[in-house]
Chains A and B, each alone.
Chain A
Amino acid sequence: MKHITLQLETLTCPSCMAKIDGMMKKTEGVVKAEVLFNSSRVKAEIDESIVSTAQVKQRIEALGYKVLGEK
């Protein structure tokens, strides 16, 4: 189990939260996920044997939100 925090580009629409959150919860290997609206971050707990940080990043980017970095 690994904790990751990803810094996204500034989230400005209320629906972004729901979308990213929904995607994360549907991603296999993501045990827990939280979208932090004000700081524009995604905090998650992932099972690395199923999904990698890079894959999570990729999925967020595919949704249309740039991932600026990992904390």
Chain B
Amino acid sequence: MHKTSTLIMATVLVVASFFLHRLYGYISVTIAVMLASTALAGYPVVRKAIGALRYRIVGIEVLVSVATIGAVIIGEYWEAAAVTYLFLFGGYLEAKTLEKTRSSIKALLNLAPETARIVKNGKEEVVDPKSVVQGDRVIVKPGERIAVDGTVEDGLAYVNQSTVTGESLPVERQAGQQVFAGTVVESGYLIVEAEKVGDQTTFARILELVEEAQDAKAKTQKFLERFSQYYTPGIMVLSLVLFLFTRDIRLSLTLLVIACPGALVISAPVSIVAGIGNGAKKGILVKGGDVMERLGTVRAIAFDKTGTVTKGEPEVVFLQAFDIDRDELLGIAASGETYAEHPIAKAIVGYASERLAQDIRIPEETNPIPGKGVVFVLGGKTYLLGNRALFADHTVSLEIHEPAIRAEEELARTVVIVGSTERVLGFFAIADTVRPQAKELLKALKKIGIRHVVMLTGDNERTARAIAGQLGFDSYRASLLPQDKVSALKELQAEYGTVAMVGDGVNDAPALATADLGIAIGGAGSDVAMETADVIVMSSHLSMLTHAVGLSRATVRNMKQNIVFAILVAVILLAGVLVRTVDLSFGMLVHEFSVLLVIINAIRLMGYGKNTKL
């Protein structure tokens, strides 16, 4: 029979039994109705109990079955009907409410694209997204979900990227720009060249991470599991001892049934799944319960500068040439940076290709020196491009140009010096714009109790000081090589305890891994960031960071409330049974009710950050 109809019939029968019992006491009609109710509600319980017994597992169903059969034998028909009914009804409500705690994550899973429209042999064809291969051209029309990660080849559209970045405002996308699978074209149309398909797309990775995260256990949870390892057998021994002393089978059975730690077992998982669901909806991926716990205890946060507090898309704002044609200097510099992935290199190459008529020449040899720059050979001549350290290494004097360079640096610009092995040919001043929300974020973090915010950067002292001062960082560390960031973090950990590192995951992966907690910002599309970081903010909205910290604290608080409540109920029930004020059906009622309360408490988390404070 269907679960719901079983429940409805059982409800009718149990209510009838209750009134018959009250009005007429145990007469044959009453007993018949009660037995019918018990049989109906008890059947699925007994069946599950037998299934478990076959593997010699004594689950709660076995205990309830034994208690029910025992009650019938000793003529407590009402107890039997009430206990089985409460168990069935409780289970039904628990299933329904649990569904709610999992609904955000489930909703996310349902957003996976189901079809893809590709161009094949000049014709449009609707196919399964899994059958799309790299390089296919995918057409997306208004209202449709993009099925692949790729670059727009043609068309113009407003795309709602909330499934990936959590941003609800649609963004404009046109040729050359990136789009993500799972996002929706609201208006316009796009032709997208597929780059990542199927399980490789950012969206598929998000789903996988979220699925993993919801069951990644918190420390508290592991403690609970150890606790219940001893608790359940302990109660069994206690019931047995109790029976041996009192010879009261009812008391022992009641104790067994009441003692099943249902609320305790789910107290932590329900909070975590609700918390992770809340984050996922807003484009924040928290990799599990232990991360939630650590995120809530963070005392100091280190920020990578480039790409995190700044947009990471620096531009050339000034070019100075010394006794050389500007275009020639630009051509040399662009050649040296052709292969570099660093944003500063891209700025120089971009600047050059906008201004130079001829193509950028390919250098014969390039030798990048981490944290310093690059040495390259072009047209048989060796050139240097980079910072002061690079020029010091090659004993090329900067002295006469120092004032000009320093003047640029005072303006928080990065100076890239270009020279031959004999002399300085010129320099570029490059500036990166600060993200608009950076200043408010730092204020907000302070408000929620973060004691120290520090900026880590590979840039020089002056650039770092200018930006750190402008934004209100407590301190800054400049001229850091990637490995220096790691040691800087270790120092911070020694001083402040739990330290989080916020970065874009591009060149700060080691630092993200070293910190107690790695937070990647603007993680959409970056595999490294999604792999290394513990928390991934998909959009580049810094303000999401405050939500992430707040959410994790709320989740941990919620989890603790649940645990304390569950333990309290267990202890009170236990005491109640032992002093004989709690009987079987009342005990069952309280037990089922406590499980429900724990779930309902977790559901509150799903609304966190809307307007209420938890």
Contact = CB atoms under 8 A, between A and B. Distances in A.
Contacts of A15: 59-61, 260, 262, 265
Contact of A18 (B56, B59, B98, B272): B59
Q: How large is the interface on A (under 10, 10 to 19, 20 to 34, 35 or more residues)?
A: 20 to 34
A38 B56 contact: no
A12 B211 CA distance: 17
Interface stretch (B47-55, B358-366, B505-513): B47-55
A22 B57 contact: yes
Given A13-B94, A26-B57, A39-B214, A19 B265 contact: no
A64 B51 contact: yes
Interface residues of B, number: 32
Given A26-B55, A38-B102, A64 B48 contact: yes
Given A38-B102, A39-B215, A17 B265 contact: yes
A37 B269 contact: yes
A51 interface: no
B260 A38 contact: no
A19 to B, nearest CB: 5
Contacts of A59: 55
A38 B269 contact: yes
A31 interface: no
Interface string A48-71: 000000000001001110000000
B595 interface: yes
B228 to A, nearest CB: 8
Contacts of B57: 19, 22-23, 26
Interface of A: 10, 12-15, 17-19, 22-23, 26, 36-39, 41, 59, 62-64
Nearest to A16: B59
Given A13-B91, A39-B215, A23 B273 contact: no
B545 interface: no
B389 interface: no
Contacts of A36: 214-215
B51 A62 contact: yes
A12 B94 contact: yes
B470 to A, nearest CB: 44
Interface in B255-271: 260-263, 265-266, 269
Interface of B: 47-48, 51-52, 54-57, 59-61, 91, 94-95, 98-99, 102, 105, 211, 214-215, 232, 260-263, 265-266, 269, 272-273, 595
Contacts of A18: 59, 232, 265
Contacts of B55: 22-23, 26, 59, 63
24 contacts: A10-B95, A12-B91, A12-B99, A13-B94, A14-B94, A14-B261, A14-B262, A14-B265, A15-B59, A15-B262, A18-B59, A19-B57, A22-B55, A22-B59, A23-B52, A37-B269, A38-B272, A38-B273, A39-B215, A59-B55, A62-B51, A62-B54, A63-B51, A64-B48
B229 to A, nearest CB: 10
Contacts of A37: 215, 266, 269
| In the A-B complex, the 3 residue pairs with the closest CB atoms | A12-B95, A36-B215, A38-B214
A59 B269 CA distance: 25
A68 B99 CA distance: 18
A62 to B, nearest CB: 6
Contacts of A62: 51, 54
Contact of B47 (A13, A19, A64): A64
Q: Which of A18, A59, A64 has the most CB of B within 10 A?
A: A18
A39 B211 contact: yes
Contacts of A39: 211, 214-215
A13 B96 CA distance: 11
A24 B466 CA distance: 60
Contacts of B98: 12
Nearest to A22: B57
A10 B492 CA distance: 44
B78 to A, nearest CB: 25
Nearest to B212: A39
Contacts of B265: 14-15, 17-18
Contacts of A14: 94, 261-263, 265-266, 595
Contacts of A17: 265
B379 to A, nearest CB: 56
Contacts of B232: 18
